[in-house]
Amino acid sequence: MTTAEPHKSDGIGKDLVIYVCLLLLAGVQFVIAYQKIDMSQMFWRMLTVACVEASLAALFFMHLWAEKRGFLLFVAVFTISVLLMLQYGWTDSFRMSVGAPFSKVM
């Protein structure tokens, strides 16, 4: 009969550092929101900060940083492909408000 080792914990220090980083990134978004910049610049800056926040949250709070590199790559590719495939479905939603654009009533 073998005895199992207790689960080793890294402590709460790393989680607190990531949490503070996420709070700082949220503060950066607040600063970007109140800048007098063009809307396209604001969009790209906010999108960049949001992607960094989402990556940090997924890597550390979902413990993806401890997984094998192949699984991490699979999750990244799968997530990006799902988001890109959503692009093709969004155009269909306009039909509810404006109807089918190229249909003719006979």
pTM > 0.95: no
Q: Could you read off the pLDDT of 14-34 as tens digits, one per residue?
A: 888 888 999 999 999 999 999
Task: With residue 6 as reference, give the H or E element that holds it.
Answer: none
- What distance in Å separates the CA atoms of residue 18 and residue 89, rounded to the nearest whole number? 35
pLDDT at 65: 81
* 67 CB-contact burial (10 Å; exposed 0-12 / middle 13-18 / buried 19+): middle
pLDDT band for position 92 (cuts 50, 70, 90): low
